[in-house]
Structure 1
Amino acid sequence: MADWVENYWRLRWDLPDGVVYRSSTLPHPSCTLSVERGVTRSEVGADPVVLTGVVRHRFEVPARGRSWVFAVKFRPGGLAAFAGLDAARLTDRVVPARGLLPASVVTACANLDETVADECCVTRLDAALTAARPPTSGGDTDYRQLLGVIDDMLADRTLLRVGQIEQRHDIAARRLQRMFARYVGVGPKWVLARYRMHDAVRELDGGYTGTIADLATRYGWYDQAHFARAFTDLVGAAPGDYRDRHARHPG
């Protein structure tokens, strides 16, 4: 499943009555298949098996009570390539997986709960996904090209503009836009900006001591005020405040 799946993950919590922990995560250009039991997100209804599309804002979940989550994080574009979906239909949405994924995959998820060992959860779901995967003979050339672009965005921090991607991969702007809309659900500019913002956060986490203006320029923002607004919207704190807080409480 490595062509489509990035990783499997599990989360559980058991909090006393009245205690709420607000979990906050930076958004990634990935879709997730999850089974969520207990006190779940407000977006999860009676069916615990859901698909979460790319979230364009800071991903926040108020954790309370007792809950258990097991999930598959697809590679960028992986869910659309695997299931033949239009990823743009899922952007900023949480929807039941039933009817969108093969019934065998949904059933495998529905049969998982906190009594099943983590390794067994992975084995069962990986087997269900593998049995339902699309044929690879010939391959999906658009998806393969998309993965190459995504890998390049992640590996090369000097890529700051979509035009650089178009030139390096010899791909027309309109085709690149269509490819990202179909497979990822957001445009290449958004994905590139998110990856560079993640780089900026990692710099601050690693003890960056330069100016915020230099940090902004390094990752493609030539207006420090614009960078500060984008950082604050995504992280929940201004860059300088975030650095000061991390210095006081490393890790």
Structure 2
Amino acid sequence: MPDRTKATPPPTATVAGVLRPGELSRHVDLARDPAGPVAGRWVENRWSLRWHLPPGRWYDSEILPHPTCSLTVELGSHPRAGIPAGETVVVTGVCTRRFDVEVRGWGRVLGLRFRPGGLAALTGHPASAWTNRSVAASDVLPAHLTEALSDPDLVGLDAAAWADVAEAGLAVLADNRPDPRYDLLLEVVADMLADRTMLTVADVADRHAVTVRTLQRLFTHYVGVGPKWVLGRYRMHDAVSDLDAGFHGTLTDLAVRYGWYDQAHFTRDFTELIGVTPGRYRDRTTAADAGRAASAAG
């Protein structure tokens, strides 16, 4: 059984990543809650989505994912592209690209977001096996657990009931043996997230007195991507969050704040990942906010 006396790790993710979150809230009910105490060492949070759109209407949800895996049960009139046929309970690995989902008809998703490396630590499987993939949860977790999580009676209850069963089933997979590599990973990731002065993998390696090669091996096994990608993704989350919050400085200021040497490199990376330039993203966000304000006033 897991060592429940071990303190829950510090935060290893934020709620950033939803592009134009105000637009999403017009179409989808999103709820997040902290993980319960039983599985908090491996699970960051529990979340749910619910929507019901009239015929002929849809919304393209755009997510800038975290370096995390998720466990979900997904029901709806229009199954998400990429889910194995006939499966409702799935594991989705780290997505290295923007994660786009067409929201149409009706749907409900209940999920757990693992801490970076959490699923690999619980199962012993390398996370690289799931990078950019959604697989049947039964390929990763015990069949009895995935069967329980697909039970319509359980899914029909509130999201907390489903998450309680999921977390309890995951905790059973753990044992009391120490995992110093996972402990190190959590410390490194928490530092990456919290300390905006760390802008390179060499900075991270120096902080934790390990080699860059050690970090690369650690992240490849537990997270499924390298430390450079994780550091860059967190900083891109920061930049997008600032734009969503109405950042009024110059784009050069924003680029330098989060480790880009100049605006040109920042614009290139931003456009490649987000699909539009940072200037255009800011304009679209500002226009959407103004439209919502006008609707509310009317």
Q: Name the TM tier (shorter chain).
A: over 0.9
1:71 aligns with 2:106: no
Secondary structure, counterpart of 2:45 in structure 1: strand
Residue equivalent to 2:139: 99
Residue equivalent to 2:241: 202
Residue equivalent to 1:117: 158
- In 2: Cα distance, 1:249 partner to 1:101 partner: 42
- In 1: Cα distance, 2:143 partner to 2:151 partner: 12
Residue equivalent to 1:24: 62
Q: If the length of structure 1 is used for normalisation, what is the TM-score?
A: 0.94
1:58 aligns with 2:102: no
Q: Which amino acid aligns with 2:89?
A: V
Q: Which amino acid aligns with 1:168?
A: R
- The count of residues paired between Structure 1 and Structure 2 equals 249
Please, which moves more after superposition, 66-75 or 105-114?
105-114
Q: Does the 8 Å contact 1:58/1:233 carry over to 2?
A: no
- In 1: Cα distance, 2:156 partner to 2:142 partner: 24
Q: Does the 8 Å contact 1:7/1:73 carry over to 2?
A: yes
* Cα shift at 1:245: 2.6
Please, which moves more after superposition, 229-238 or 57-66?
229-238
- In 1: Cα distance, 2:159 partner to 2:245 partner: 31
1:127 aligns with 2:168: yes
- In 1: Cα distance, 2:52 partner to 2:248 partner: 38
Q: Does the 8 Å contact 1:159/1:165 carry over to 2?
A: yes
Residue identity (%): 49
- Structure 2 stretches lacking a partner, 5+ long: 1-38, 293-298
| Corresponding residue to 1:7 among 36, 41, 45 | 45
Secondary structure, counterpart of 1:98 in structure 2: helix
- In 2: Cα distance, 1:199 partner to 1:18 partner: 35
* Cα shift at 1:206: 2.6
| Superposition map of 1:74-89 within 5 A | 74-89=114-129
- In 2: Cα distance, 1:31 partner to 1:119 partner: 19
